[in-house]
Amino acid sequence: MIVLGLETSCDETASAVVDAERGILSNIVLSQLEEHRPYGGVVPEIAARSHLTFIDRLITQAMAEAKITFADLDGVAATGGPGLIGGVIVGTMSAKAIALARNIPFLAVNHLEAHALTARLTDRVAFPYLLLLASGGHCQLLAVEGVGTYRRLGSTIDDAVGEAFDKVAKMLGLGYPGGPAIEQAALSGDARRFALPRPMKGKPGCDFSFSGLKTAVRQAAENLPSGPFAPQDLADLAASFQQAVVESIASRVNNALKAFSASHPQGKTLVVAGGVAANRALRGALQELAEQAGLSFVAPPHALCTDNAAMVAWAGIERLRLGLIDPLDFKPRPRWPLEEGLSRSAIPAITMS
């Protein structure tokens, strides 16, 4: 079984071919970073136009690198939401066109589901598992019970964690995207220099909050001597912020591990996904927590944690195997909570052939 996947929900145009034996036959990601950098964040209109400009040649390239033709495809999957709607329309329209022309199944993949299932592509992780999804747009803890069955244990009540990294980096003049810049600056910083809050730490439940921490960083920065930031001040502030984020997340994951182990005693794995999963301080803390709880820890390689189309193609394969294909009048969804799972208008594969 071979599936072509397309990802266009944010600022990466991506196309990949994956097979059911977990072979990634091609995986191409075209970042729009340079187009958005002058604005310090993603501009939806620019993103949509760029997806439209590049999607066709990315598909051609992914097919060529995989050394297959459209006749070899068993399905075509595209991110159907949630995300910036202009981009999602470009991806789903392209996938539907191929599905219609080749008379093969179309699969509308929830972007969060694609992140959630990546660990099964890379590490064959068995259901159920506990997932921390930490990206620029999302921060959630989910019990992943099966394809289409996700139970949310907690989510952010304000900013997503990657968004907090990006906003703090912008505040400190470290550029966009902020996560890698803060991690780099923190390497030479003292994480104890600034006493920043650890939002939600020690509180019951698994929800996150980062906006108070962001404000505290702003206040700490304002109290520094005026003028451009001194490199050591910047490094210490970055390190203190990163440490506060890690401790805050660790507290929430710790509660989630307890709740997950009680409700899913057969669960053996803690998985992290999303762009923030690249952060080494966070990975280290999660690894430790998983070990303490007697679970193994899986973090997919960085290139498959950030937005990519291999994860979309793989989610397509998982859904196709269950006959969960989508009609060609599927409407792209700017919002699409994962818990809706199987309740959408999925129809058995047999009616499409």
What are the residues binding ligand KG4 (CB under 6 A)?
Answer: 10, 135-137, 162, 165-166, 177-180, 183, 274-276, 278-279, 306-307
Decide if residue 11 touches Zn ion (CB under 5 A). Answer: no
Decide if residue 166 touches Zn ion (CB under 5 A). Answer: no
Minimum CB distance to Zn ion, residue 249 (Å): 17
CA 251 to chain centroid, in Å, comes to 21
Minimum CB distance to Zn ion, residue 82 (Å): 10
Which of ligand KG4, Zn ion, none interacts with 83 (beta carbon under 5 to 8 A by kind)? none
Given 307, 314, 324, 326, the residue binding Zn ion (CB under 5 A):
307
Minimum CB distance to ligand KG4, residue 245 (Å): 8
Closer residue to ligand KG4 (CB): 33 or 64: 33
Decide if residue 110 touches Zn ion (CB under 5 A). Answer: no
Decide if residue 240 touches Zn ion (CB under 5 A). Answer: no
Minimum CB distance to ligand KG4, residue 135 (Å): 3
SS (H, E, C) the chain: CEEEEEECCCCEEEEEEEECCCCEEEEEEEECHHHHHHHCCCCHHHHHHHHHHHHHHHHHHHHHHHCCCHHHCCEEEEEEECCCHHHHHHHHHHHHHHHHHHCCCEEEEEHHHHHHHHHHHHHCCCCCEEEEEECCCCEEEEEEEECCEEEEEEEECCCCHHHHHHHHHHHCCCCCCHHHHHHHHHCCCCCCCCCCCCCCCCCCCCCECCHHHHHHHHHHHHCCCCCCCCHHHHHHHHHHHHHHHHHHHHHHHHHHHHHHHHHCCCCCEEEEECHHHHCHHHHHHHHHHHHHCCCEEECCCHHHHCCCCHHHHHHHHHHHHCCCEECCCCCCCCCCCHHHHHHCCCECHHHHC
Closer residue to ligand KG4 (CB): 205 or 284: 284
Which of ligand KG4, Zn ion, none interacts with 306 (beta carbon under 5 to 8 A by kind)? ligand KG4
Q: Which candidate, 86, 64, 76, places its Cα nearest to that of 13?
A: 86
Closer residue to ligand KG4 (CB): 19 or 163: 163
Closer residue to ligand KG4 (CB): 114 or 216: 114
Closer residue to Zn ion (CB): 259 or 277: 277
Closer residue to Zn ion (CB): 207 or 307: 307
Minimum CB distance to ligand KG4, residue 274 (Å): 4
Which of Zn ion, ligand KG4, none interacts with 183 (beta carbon under 5 to 8 A by kind)? ligand KG4
What single letter denotes the amino acid at residue 212? Answer: G
Closer residue to ligand KG4 (CB): 183 or 233: 183
Which of Zn ion, ligand KG4, none interacts with 210 (beta carbon under 5 to 8 A by kind)? none
Minimum CB distance to ligand KG4, residue 297 (Å): 17
At residue 85, what are phi and psi to the nearest 5 degrees?
A: -65, -35
Residues engaged in binding Zn ion (CB under 5 A): 135, 307
